Structure 1
Amino acid sequence: MPSPRRRRFGTIEALPSGKYRAYYRGPDAKRHKAPHTFYDEGDAAHWLRKEQKLIEFDEWTPPHTRAQSKEDAARTLGDWMKEWMALRSRGVDALEPSTAANYWKDINLRILNVPGKAGRLRDIPLTQVTKRDIAAWWDAINADFAPTACHNTFARLRTALNAAVDRDMIPVSPANLKAATHKPKTKRKELPDAKVMQAIIDQLDHTKPRVDGSHKLIAILTFFHGLRIGEALGLRRQDVTIKDDTISVYVRGNVYRTKDGMIRKDRPKTEAGHRNVPIFPNFHNDFTWHMDTFVGDSPDAMLFTTGTGHIVLDTSYRSILNRAKTRAGHEGLRISPHYGRNWAITTLAEAGMPIPAIGEFLGQRDLRTITEVYMRATDERKAAVLDAVNSMLKK
């Protein structure tokens, strides 16, 4: 290979490929090379002349920072949200598929594909996004979406912009609106009544007209045993133990919804979710009937499937549950599968089970959530305690 040809400014080097490489010593005393090689020696010389002029007119910056600046100028906030989600989908800190699906849903609905004024944010270059831009977007989405959905989307946006700060793409994050950081107040769930839940479950029995009974066990597991809906739908035959007069299910998996249906993963929602849940004997007949009627013999056979063999959609089950609620005469009642956790926590606590044991039964590691959010005494229990205290005062 011929030796590099030195010039008054810079050096041009012929490469074995037939191309040319150009480089020079800059004002910072460091060597800087062209961002690419050249097919023609004259093109390499032209690049060096342009660099020399930048130095002469005191407009020089290192070539690699100029290339980075062009890339930054072309990257919009919408582009970065997509890049950031790609980063969060791999590596040691990758999001769970179900969590990533929720992130994408928020980002698509309220940033990438939102119409009107809110849609302007996605097209602003990332390096030029201001707090005012964020505020305008926030005000626009709050006019069209529920407060909780807006709060969740802002949380995704703020985390993505903080990641841009960590990568030195922007100096500070403009997503620092106080109004957007306050979590919306949610309606407190009413403590469900066991008789009401049982009346709804009865409407899912196979003896009812036009009901095949395949969804009754889902209601039993979520209402009276505190399983999350994804945990119940993720159960397989191998997760069920029937021995003597006992039945139990071992929660070791979960399901999440995608555009192609429900996908099972071999982990529950949380690490604390791994647990063995004994089934109350009151429901043993329902349990064994479901296993004999709907569940295949394979250890991997899912407990809850459609006629085509797919895992039951959580949305489909909620619709069926709502229809059963109406048939039971409780059409206006606000109740969901998750309400069963309220019932289980309160009932077990009133029966004397220690809080840590309740946490193990429900797969709830944060015991403060049990005491501050879920557990509430029933009116009957409060009245009994007050009567007991009153009797003590009389003595």
Structure 2
Amino acid sequence: MPEQDKAMPPKKKTRRRFGTMRKKRGRYFVEYIGADGQRHSPGYGFETEQQADIWLTREEERLDLHRRGIITWYPPEVEREQQERDLTTVEEWLNQYHESIAPTVRKSTLDQYKKVTRSRITELSTAPDPTEALKLKDIRLVELTKRDVRAWWDAIVRQFPDQPETNRKGYLRLRAACQEAVTREIIARNPVEIREAGKKAPKEDMYLPEDWEIQAILKEVPERYRALTSLCLFHGVRVGEAVALERGDVEVTAQVPFAPRVTVHIRQNAQRVSSGGGRTYLNFQPTKTAAGKRSVPIMPAHVPIFQRHLAEFAGVSPIEVHADSNLRESVRRVTLFTVTDTGAPVMDTSYRAILNRAKKRAGVDERINPHSGRRWLITRLAEKGAHLKEIGRLLGQDDSQTILQVYMKVRASRTSELIDLVGSTIEA
């Protein structure tokens, strides 16, 4: 039998005053009995006997200090994890935190969280002078203080005075991440405590478009996007819901001898998601709330727009779209109601650009956007006597306070109309 094939003798443990050491395949492995009565090792071998001896000596010192009541002994693997945590920076923890919550939030929501974190904490690429605010990201999490957070917040407010809502969202991201660190016992207390930073800034009164303005826009929009514009500006459908409509979601019902009816069934929405390499795509997902899933009857005057769209512009062949759910990536085949002239899904950014060009041609107020239609419809429904439950059902909004405080407006001409109505009941 060749010499190299002979069985190697077992390696003997070297007995020591503390712990044991064994040489195996050119490396030194050590272990010892801890305060819990169990055997513990570093989990790897050392290149030299001196390195192994230093590790055992340090562990012996930890055990001695524990017995004397000076420190609390933890197993080496726990101690190693603690040391790694102690070295974790704010930026590293934010990344870990967002990855940990990924299975519990929508992919589009996580994308927004990461975006605001980059813009206010870790990158600040658009800041005039980001140096001061960027200091925060390199501070070790366990050393983060209220003073550090206050200095960061003051720098953010100074650098982005016209973006209070984005500043607030950046603050909330930092606070949520640090609160999770408290829960995991990485830090003892949340240092992110700036009361005014978490408050929403008063919103400016959003513009309420007049009837003639949205009518003018509808005429100026290219015919391919006229049904989409009708959905957003006249029927209060969110732009993400409108671009996610499938052909089968638009139902045409014949009502002889009356004109046909069109009903749009909202079942999903599409949100922009950024992937690696700067690529952006639409992710198709269920409506955000149960109230969002609804049926919207189309105004009789707009039925011909939808009939023509189905005949000439709607998608005819299934295409693949992303339907990612949290960490799970998936693809669906759908036939969309609205597509580009190449048959691709319509990005919300592309539609906004189309709408902006139509606004200029129509000569209307530049503040009108796809969301303006929700304010217009809610206001008009209220004027016609609809109660909040009815409005919420049609708009997919189950929060009555949001309808009242955010969307519902008063048309400038409405006060005159009301006075005229009251005046007509009084004899001169």
Query: Under TM normalisation by the shorter chain, which class is it?
Result: 0.7 to 0.9
Match of 2:335 in 1: 301
Amino acid at match of 2:105: L
Separation in structure 1 between the aligned mates of residue 164 and residue 46 of structure 2, nearest angstrom: 58
Q: Which residue of 2 aligns with 1:131?
A: 146
> 3-state DSSP class of the match of 2:223?
coil
Q: How much does 1:174 deviate? A: 1.0
Q: Which has the higher contact order (CA 8 A, sep 6+)?
A: 2
Whether the 8 Å contact between 2:282 and 2:347 is mirrored in structure 1 is no
Q: CA deviation at 1:150?
A: 0.6
| Aligned counterparts of 1:40 and 1:328: Cα–Cα separation in 2 | 77
The equivalent position to 2:374 in structure 1, one of 341, 344, 353, is 341
1:318 lines up with 2:352 in the alignment? yes
Aligned to 1:169: 186
Q: 1:64 deviation in Å?
A: 4.0
- Mark the CA change 1:214 to 1:51 in structure 2 (over 3 Å): closer, same or farther: same
Matched, 1:35 2:42: yes
Shift of 1:46: 4.6
Question: Are 1:117 and 2:129 matched, yes or no?
Answer: no
Deviations 1:33-83 (A, max 9, x none): 123243689565553333224455667543345323320222100001111
- 1:73 aligned partner: 86
1:357 is matched with which residue: 390, 414, 417? 390
Gaps of 5+ in 1: 205-211
Give the Cα separation in 1 of the matches to 2:46 and 2:164. 58
Q: Give the structure 2 partner of residue 281 of structure 1.
A: 300
Instruction: Name the CA distance, whole Å, in 2 between partners of 1:25 and 1:6.
Output: 16
Is the Cα contact below 8 Å between 1:158 and 1:173 reproduced in 2? Answer: yes
1:8 offset after TM fit, Å?
3.9
Q: Is the 8 A contact 1:253 1:264 kept in 2?
A: no
CA distance in 2, matches of 1:155, 1:49: 45
What secondary structure does 1:80 align onto? Answer: helix
SS in 2 for 1:297: coil
Distance 1:101 1:325, change over 3 A: same
The SS at the match of 2:271 is: strand
1:195 maps onto 2:208 in alignment? no
- Quick one: which of 33, 50, 59 aligns to 1:51? 59
**What is aligned with 2:264?**
249
Query: How far, CA to CA, are the matches of 1:362 and 1:251 in structure 2?
Result: 10
* Partner amino acid, structure 2, of 1:288: Q
Letter in 2 for 1:378: R
Structure 1 residue 190 displacement after superposition: 2.5
Answer yes or no: is the 8 Å Cα contact 1:22–1:44 preserved in 2: no
Quick one: distance in 1 between partners of 2:300 and 2:178?
A: 53
- Separation (CA, whole Å) in 2 of partners of 1:111 and 1:196: 41
CA distance in 1, matches of 2:359, 2:77: 65
The Cα of 1:156 is off from its aligned counterpart by 1.1
Which amino acid is the alignment partner of residue 265 of structure 1?
F
SS at match of 2:345: coil
The match for 1:223 is 233
Letter in 1 for 2:401: R
Deviation at residue 116 of structure 1 after TM alignment: 1.6
Cα deviation for residue 176 of structure 1 reads 0.7
SS in 2 for 1:187: coil
Amino acid at match of 1:138: W
CA RMSD of aligned residues (A): 2.9
TM-score (norm 1): 0.87
Q: How many Å separate the matches in 2 of 1:261 and 1:25?
A: 53
**Structure 1 residues 40 and 334 mapped into 2: Cα distance closer, same or farther (>3 Å)?**
closer
Partner Cα separation in structure 2 for residue 337 and residue 226 of structure 1? 9
- What stretches of structure 1 move > 6 A for 4+ residues in a row? 1-6, 13-19, 391-395
Question: What is the identity, as a one-letter code, of the residue corresponding to 1:250?
Answer: H
- Aligned-residue identity in percent: 35
Residue 104 of structure 1: aligned partner: 114
Equivalent in 20, 23, 38 of residue 32 of structure 2: 23
> Partners of 1:124 and 1:242 in 2: how far apart?
60
Asked whether the equivalents of residues 261 and 313 of structure 1 are also in contact (C-alpha less than 8 Å), the reply is: no
SS in 2 for 1:143: helix
Q: Which moved more, 1:66-75 or 1:155-164?
A: 66-75
Q: Conserved in 2, the CA contact under 8 Å of 1:237 and 1:298? A: no
Q: For 1:381 and 1:67, how far apart are their aligned partners in 2?
A: 70
CA distance in structure 1 between the partners assigned to 2:423 and 2:22 by the alignment: 98
Aligned equivalents of 1:129, 1:39: Cα separation in 2: 35
CA contact (8 A) 1:12 1:23 kept: no
Report if aligned partners of 1:111, 1:119 keep a CA contact under 8 Å in 2: yes
Match of 1:272, as an amino acid? Answer: A
Q: Distance in 1 between matches of 2:396 and 2:218?
A: 23
Task: Write the letter of the residue equivalent to 1:185.
Answer: P
Aligned amino acid, residue 18 of structure 2: F
Judge which range, 377-386 or 72-81, deviates more: 377-386
Which blocks of at least 5 consecutive residues in structure 2 are unaligned? 1-9, 125-129, 255-259, 319-333
Query: CA–CA distance in 2 between the matches of 1:238 and 1:166?
Result: 47
TM norm structure 2: 0.81
Question: Structure 1 residues 288 and 184, CA, compared in 2 at 3 Å: closer, same or farther?
Answer: same
